[in-house]
Structure 1
Amino acid sequence: MEIELWLIASLACLAIFTSFIDAVAGGGGLIMMPTLLFAGLPPQLALGTNKVQSMFGTSNAFRNYAKAGLVDWRKEKWLALLAFVGAAAGAILVQQMSARILNLIVPLLLMGVALYVLLSPRMDDRQAKELISRKGYAPFAGGIGFYDGFFGPGTGSFFAATLVGLRGEGLTRATGHAKLFNMMTNMAAVIVFAVGGKIIWTLALAMAVGSFIGSTLGAKFAVKHGAKIIRPLLVTISLLLTAKLIYDWFAPA
């Protein structure tokens, strides 16, 4: 599929914005995914292409958290590997589904995740009681990984929320570990989508540059201002875009 230069440049700029949002409040994919579909990309190509820029953004974020000593990757490596396997399975499954079905499923998933981001309880850095062990978290690592390979937006929030709620981690450390898991799931999905020929590499790499810039700027902004204003704005834009996608699906041809 050929993409015009102006559209590549526009989507690369959008990647700066969505990665900025992702670093501050999470959920940047809630804007990027419907935009890629509006641009005319079939669902599998949109998912695969978006995974490349997501991989760059999460890898950059993971590097920053690791440098700050907030990631114990040696203890978490087996869960990260399980998340990798789950994501590979999800990416394989989504490539077997028809574009017609995905054109309905993807907007519905977007709407569900947007509502989750809006309504989810705020978390903090207080250490809480561990409800399940590291081994007990394995099904969650694999299941969220599968979701990321199949779809993706909101994955980092799901990892962080379950690490805080189930394993008792403070939010900052949970976010660091979430970036480790999310980086691995993105890598797995990129490999599978690349093998399946579902990535537009020119567009993906241009967006990856934007993602790197946006995630760097967003991390700095988050320290000063937080996510109070950005989260509601993110959800509003996402729900409007998603409603339009659902309307187009049901509208007569």
Structure 2
Amino acid sequence: MEILLHEWLSVNGFILFTIGLLAAVIGVLFGAAGFVLLPAMLLIGIPIHATIAVNKFATGISALSNVVSFLIKGHLSLKNFTPLIMISSLGGVLGAFLATRLSEQVMNVVACIFLIFAFFIVLSSNKFMVKDIKESEELPINKFIPFAVSIYDGGFGPGSALMNVTYHLKKQYTYVKAVELTRIITFSSCTGAFLFYYFTGIVNWGIAIPVSIGSIVGSFLGLKIIPYIKTKWIQILLPIIFFLLIVQIVSDLLI
């Protein structure tokens, strides 16, 4: 325990805390925490599967803090979203299982395919982002989509929350409601994936704790910023963030 405490309070621990904070802010606002978290952790020399395991723990804790906040404020009812939580958790477990059986290069190819597909959906869907849509106008959710995205999230992750935000916006949810639903799905898929990684001995607590503390702080900062986000900014930034994610993945494949 003393060794872990020393590691958490070191310069490296502060760097990990900062990475978690920045990733969570970007994750809450635009659903692209993996764009910061994974490349940054790989850059400082953490192996791919250990990086993903820590990412699932940190992102799951961050999302849990948001979900608890939503419940306290009465924004969400767990009873209404139990089926969504269950299928997202199952998707996370399945994704983690597949990830431990695939090479890093294959995982990058899968991520690239998912992101390119989602990128073209965003480009063709600028008109769906309408602010202040009434509750009665929200369209039914096809639970296969969150399940499929949760599989990807459990096994890799970059852009998964962004995919969920985009999908719920297409279903005519307001941006704030889309973020709330995405945080529920993210919490569920990350929890399922993390439990799988934990029981297979991949989790490194010396890395996971400072990143997670940073993620909790960043998630609350992100929620404070959300009400000030303009729809026009979302229309511009979502395609740009998707494109940057694709560039990151492709560059990893070419190295």
Cα distance in structure 1, aligned partners of 2:121 and 2:66:
20
Instruction: Choose from 49, 55, 80 the match for 2:85.
Output: 80
Instruction: Choose from 48, 53, 57 the match for 2:53.
Output: 48
Cα distance in structure 2, aligned partners of 1:90 and 1:234:
23
Counterpart residue type for residue 131 of structure 2: D
Counterpart residue type for residue 199 of structure 2: V
Question: Does the alignment pair 1:124 with 2:131?
Answer: yes
- Give the structure 1 partner of residue 40 of structure 2: 35
- Give the structure 2 partner of residue 152 of structure 1: 157
- Give the structure 2 partner of residue 246 of structure 1: 253
Secondary structure of 1:90's match?
A: helix
Cα distance in structure 1, aligned partners of 2:113 and 2:13:
25
Contact 2:18/2:211, CA 8 A, preserved across alignment: yes
Counterpart residue type for residue 141 of structure 1: P
Cα distance in structure 2, aligned partners of 1:40 and 1:118:
33
Secondary structure of 2:143's match?
A: helix
Residues 1:206 and 1:110: Cα distance change in structure 2 (over 3 Å): farther
Contact 1:107/1:245, CA 8 A, preserved across alignment: no
Alpha-carbon deviation of 1:16? 1.0
The percentage of aligned residue pairs carrying the same residue is: 19
Cα distance in structure 1, aligned partners of 2:162 and 2:33:
11
Question: Does the alignment pair 1:185 with 2:189?
Answer: yes
How many pairs were matched up?
A: 242
- Give the structure 1 partner of residue 22 of structure 2: 17
Alpha-carbon deviation of 1:175? 2.5
Partner deviation per Cα, 1:16-41 (whole Å, 9 max, x = no partner): 11211222222121121112222222
| Matched ranges for 1:124-143 at <5 A | 124-127=131-134, 129=137, 131-132=139-140, 137-143=142-148
Alpha-carbon deviation of 1:113? 8.1
Cα distance in structure 2, aligned partners of 1:30 and 1:109:
16
The TM-score with structure 2 as length reference comes to: 0.79
The TM-score with structure 1 as length reference comes to: 0.79
Cα distance in structure 2, aligned partners of 1:62 and 1:244:
34
Residues 1:113 and 1:61: Cα distance change in structure 2 (over 3 Å): farther
Unaligned runs of 5+ in 2: none
Alpha-carbon deviation of 1:55? 0.8
- Give the structure 2 partner of residue 251 of structure 1: none
Alpha-carbon deviation of 1:123? 4.8
Contact 2:122/2:166, CA 8 A, preserved across alignment: no
Cα RMSD over matched residues? Answer: 3.2
Question: Does the alignment pair 1:108 with 2:112?
Answer: yes
Residues 1:118 and 1:30: Cα distance change in structure 2 (over 3 Å): farther
- Give the structure 2 partner of residue 171 of structure 1: 175
